[in-house]
Structure 1
Amino acid sequence: MELTLYRYGHGSDSTGDLLLVNGEFFGYALEDEGRVVKISGETRIPAGRYEIKLRNEGGLTKKYAKKYQFHRGMLHLQDVPGFEWIYIHTGNTDDHTDGCILVGYSTSVRRHEHTIGRSVEAYTDLYQLVLLALDRGEQIFITVQDMEAAA
């Protein structure tokens, strides 16, 4: 399974993204802002291609296991240069990211800052697609890139 994240909107605290699954539009995503010098919990990950695996350790894993009956681990991006514990998860604003990728079905911009909505619904749907792919023995990858680089 191939996920693609196109960064299209850049605010001072947030980045608005489009999310595709196997080349088809799925929804929106949100990341922290880009920075030349990383600030922990306040900087988006570098563009690149990353494998996603399930991670069954940590506090967020326990929280999501209680919240979602279907949950088998966090969607964990592997080998992100300069970052640890980068997940795809729920949330609506850059305050919820800590460098991770949030997913949603709606998006808005206010005062040049991006937010997303219907995050739990989008996360649930994306997670189910990932589980189906994993159960078929597929690897899951995400490619993160700026829209300018895609043109």
Structure 2
Amino acid sequence: MEILVKRVAQGPNTTLGHLYIDGVFECYTLEDTDRGLHSKMTLAELLRIKLHSWTCIPTGRYKLGKRYSPAFKRILPWLLSVLGFEYIYFHSGNKHEETKGCLLTGTDFKKLKNGDFYATDSRPAFNSLWEKMEAAWARNEEVWCAVEREYIPSA
């Protein structure tokens, strides 16, 4: 399974994305601020720019696994080997304060007065994504996630 997260819009503290599974739109994503990190950077370069719990992961391609999250008290999809980041998950949530570097899902979004984005109907979006990932793993498929920038000027 190939997941693609296209970052399409930025607010002062948020990054809105479109998530595709094997080329088909699945849901929206909400992340922290995109500070221009990419997977070709060195750890030292990343750490000079990154603000802990307030920065999107670097663009790049990551294998997904599953891991128990003590914070959520459940198993979640886990992006592996994200340089400079630990325990990056897909999970439900609505606002950037809930991301802490992770990717939140939503069936829709709202743009707030301050220009930030807010994910709506997060739990149904996450549950649908999780079911599709679980089905792929049950078929012994690997699950990968690419993260790219493709900002839309008027979003």
Distance 1:61 1:135 in 2: 23
SS in structure 2 of the partner of residue 60 of structure 1: coil
1:73-117 C-alpha deviation (Å, 9 max, x unpaired)? 211000001100000000001011000000110111122101110
What letter corresponds to residue 100 of structure 1 in structure 2?
A: C
Q: 1:43 to 1:137 in 2, by over 3 A?
A: same
Distance 1:34 1:96 in 2: 16
Give the one of 88, 103, 106 matched to 1:104.
Answer: 106
Q: What are the equivalent positions in structure 2 for 1:21-100 lying under 5 Å apart?
A: 21-35=21-35, 37-56=49-68, 58-62=69-73, 65=74, 73-100=75-102
Distance 1:60 1:126 in 2: 20
1:17 aligns with 2:17: yes
SS in structure 2 of the partner of residue 122 of structure 1: helix
8 A Cα contact 1:47 1:145, kept in partner? yes
SS in structure 2 of the partner of residue 98 of structure 1: coil
What letter corresponds to residue 50 of structure 2 in structure 1?
A: K
How many residues matched? 138
8 A Cα contact 1:14 1:30, kept in partner? yes
Distance 2:148 2:19 in 1: 11
Using the aligned pairs only, state the percent identity.
32
Whichever structure has more helix as a proportion of its residues is 1
8 A Cα contact 1:55 1:61, kept in partner? no
Q: Paired residue for 1:138?
A: 141
Stretches of 4+ aligned residues off by more than 3 angstroms: none
Give the one of 125, 128, 153 matched to 1:125.
Answer: 128
8 A Cα contact 1:104 1:116, kept in partner? yes
Root-mean-square deviation (Å):
1.2
Structure 1, unmatched stretches of 5+, are: 66-72
Distance 2:79 2:27 in 1: 19
TM-score, scaled relative to structure 1: 0.88
